[in-house]
Amino acid sequence: MKSNRFEGLLPLVGVAGLLLVWFVVTWQQWVDPVLLPSPMATFRALWIGMNGGVLGFDFVKTIYRTATSTLIAAVIAIPLGIVLGSSEKLYRSLEFVIDFFRSTPASAMFPLFLVLFGVGDETKISVAAFGAILVILFNVAYGVMNARKTRLLAAKVMGASRLRVLFDVMLLESLPQTFVGLRNGVSLALVIIVVAEMFIGSQDGLGHSVFEAQQLFEMPRMYAAIFAAGALGYGLNLLFLVIERRYVHWTGK
Partner 1 sequence: MDAAPHALRIQSTGVRSAPPVGSASKRPHVTIRGLSKRFDKAVIYDNFDLDIPRGELISVFGPNGCGKSTLINMIAGLIPPDAGEILFDGMRLAEIKFGYVFQNYREALFPWMRAFDNIAYPLKMMKVEKAQRRARTERLVARLGIKLDLNLYPYQMSGGQQQLVSIMRALVVEPEILFLDEPFSALDYEMTLFMREQLQKLFLESGTTMVLVSHDLEEAVYLADRVLLLSRHPAQVADFTLVGVARPRTDATLSDPEFVRLKAHCLDVFQREVRRT
Q: State the residues that interact with partner 1 by CB under 8 A.
A: 148-151, 153-154, 156-160, 164, 168-169, 172, 175, 248-250, 253
Residue 25 burial (CB count, 10 A): 14
CA-CA distances (angstroms) from residue 178 to 32, 89, 222?
46, 21, 35
**Nearer to partner 1 by C-beta: 12 or 153?**
153
The CB-of-158 to partner 1 minimum distance in angstroms stands at 4
Task: Determine what percent of the chain falls in helix, strand and coil, rounding each to the nearest 5.
Answer: 80, 0, 20
The CB-of-143 to partner 1 minimum distance in angstroms stands at 13
Rounded CA gap, 127 and 65, in Å? 11
Burial code (b: 16+ CB inside 10 Å, e: under 16) for 209-221 equals bbbbbeeeeebbb
**Nearer to partner 1 by C-beta: 60 or 158?**
158
The CB-of-88 to partner 1 minimum distance in angstroms stands at 19
CA-closest candidate to residue 70, choices 185, 179, 175: 185
Using DSSP's 3-state secondary structure scheme, residue 30 falls into coil
The CB-of-92 to partner 1 minimum distance in angstroms stands at 23
**Nearer to partner 1 by C-beta: 13 or 158?**
158
**Nearer to partner 1 by C-beta: 177 or 202?**
177
Q: Name the packing angle between helices 121-145 and 171-199 (round to 10°).
A: 160
**Nearer to partner 1 by C-beta: 172 or 198?**
172
Residue 8 burial (CB count, 10 A): 8
The CB-of-83 to partner 1 minimum distance in angstroms stands at 21
